[in-house]
Amino acid sequence: MRLQFVGCGDAFGSGGRFNTCFHVTGERVNFLIDCGASSLPALKRLGIVRDDIDLILITHFHGDHFGGLPFLLLDAQFTRRTRPLVIAGPQGIETKLQSLMEALFEHSSKTKQRFDLSIIALTQEESRTFGAVKVTPYQVDHGKSGGPFLAYRIEASGRIITYSADTEWTETLIPAARDADLFIAEAYYYDKIVKNHLSLKTLEAHLPEIGAKRLILTHMSDDMLARVDSLGYTTASDGMVVEL
Ligand SMILES: [Zn+2]
Ligand SMILES: [Zn+2]
């Protein structure tokens, strides 16, 4: 299996990075994790065939994780996509997506697509299977607007990938990422403790009990980006590929 960071930036384009979007492919899987506002141009820049994507998992409703869906869906319509597409995310995703579509492209939410589009609301700690992908969401803690907030533990091709989503430290990250082959974790600041976001030093204190086999830091602010060469951890960059 292969994961490519299509975008690993924050909401503010820190470091000129694209919003969050990861592309996972394997023998029987092809899906995205998050689709931020800039994700369609980022996917096109990497030459990723959108028609082959079967599933998009959304962690929460902030624009840098969710805001790219209207562009992607319109592009799919105009390029005459026929392959079914599943978009799964937190409770309320159907109405959130509808109002986002209407805000950005009036009447677009009512367009009859040529392809089957399923919008599925996920519940924390209830596993769902989409083709060869098993997804278990865990509730995380990222403030009062834009939620519910879900981290994902994803099993596919005999591997486990966990993505923390945006969150301050919460104990649910331990079962979500325990023994994962790859744990992609937000590290917004180095050691500054803020509400709603995770700092590397806080995360570091919990790494032994998580026991993930590989860690890659993402969603970094300028504070973290200035330190990437001296952190001693792998940090994501746009376009980076991880083989699993
Ligand atoms: Zn974010
Ligand atoms: Zn967020």
Query: Rounded distance, CA 12 to CA 22, Å?
Result: 18
The pLDDT score that the predictor gives to residue 4 is 98
CA of 60 to the centre of ligand 2 (A): 7
Q: pLDDT tens for residues 145-178?
A: 999 999 999 999 999 999 999 999 999 999 999 9
Half-sphere exposure at residue 18, Cβ-oriented, CA atoms within 13 angstroms: 27
CA of 34 to the centre of ligand 2 (A): 11
Q: Residues of the chain with pLDDT > 90: what percent?
A: 99
Looking at the predicted structure, is the pLDDT value of residue 113 above 90? no
Q: pLDDT tens for residues 32-83?
A: 999 999 999 999 999 999 999 999 999 999 999 999 999 999 999 999 999 9
CA of 148 to the centre of ligand 1 (A): 13
CA of 56 to the centre of ligand 1 (A): 16
CA of 8 to the centre of ligand 1 (A): 9
Whole-structure pTM value: 0.98
The pLDDT score that the predictor gives to residue 83 is 97
CA of 62 to the centre of ligand 2 (A): 5
The full DSSP string for the chain is -EEEEEE---TT-GGGPPPSEEEEE-SS-EEEE---TTHHHHHHHTT--GGG--EEE---SSHHHHTTHHHHHHHHHHTT--S-EEEEESTTHHHHHHHHHHHHSTTGGGPPPSS-EEEEE--TT--EEETTEEEEEEE-B--SSS---EEEEEEETTEEEEE--S-B--TTHHHHHTT-SEEEEE--BSS---TTS-BHHHHHHHHHHH--S-EEEES--HHHHTTGGGSSSEE--TT-EEE-
* pLDDT class of 30 with cuts at 50, 70, 90: very high
* pLDDT class of 242 with cuts at 50, 70, 90: very high
Nearest-Å Rg of the Cα atoms of the chain is 17
CA of 68 to the centre of ligand 2 (A): 14
CA of 69 to the centre of ligand 2 (A): 16
Query: Rounded distance, CA 244 to CA 239, Å?
Result: 16
